[in-house]
Amino acid sequence: MRVISGKVRGLKLNAPKNDDVRPTTDRVKESLFNIINSYIMDSKILDLFAGTGSLGIECLSRGAQKCVFVDISKDSIEIVKSNIKKARVENESVIVNADFKDAITKIQATKDKFDVIFMDPPYYKDMFISALEKIDQADLLIEDGIIVIEHDTKDSFPETIGRLEKSKSKKYGNTTLTFYKMEA
């Protein structure tokens, strides 16, 4: 697992020693950033279910202004911290060790809004819809922002959730990326 572009391009990131975290493959990550690259420069990023922090660190490497990393797992948070330090992006990073619902409530209180929100929750845990509903209710996405969900290809999502509208899905083997934006 590595950073594929930007100021820390090629940096190898720390990964978990077990299978509790499923890092985004380089192939999927490269395709993802080809799609969302125009959103990144000077943006605010929310990496919900951060795992290793790979997606948020990739954004910071590419010129994002700030990234909030959220994960409930203390082990994942330790990996995120080590990767942030390794990439030297501590000043642009905020770490929240909490359940996604509590984290969204805390973030809502700060009035922060995000250009890009990544969601890569544990597969088969049915957290996608409730996380999208909570993000919509908390009004965390800027008007022209995008939500990226990495999920198993077998999962399906409704066309709309609150004010969020599915804009597209891209399949990469067993992994699919689904994108939501604010309704026009």
Q: What pLDDT was estimated at residue 149? A: 94
Distance CA 139, CA 143 (A): 10
We find that the CATH architecture of domain 100-184 is 3-Layer(aba) Sandwich (3.40)
pTM as predicted:
0.93
Q: What is the mean pLDDT of the chain?
A: 91
For 103-125, letters b (16+ CB in 10 Å) and e give bbeebbeeeebbbbbbbbbebee
The tens digit of pLDDT for each residue in 106-150 reads 999 999 999 999 998 876 567 888 999 999 999 999 999 999 999
Domain ranges of the chain: 47-97, 100-184
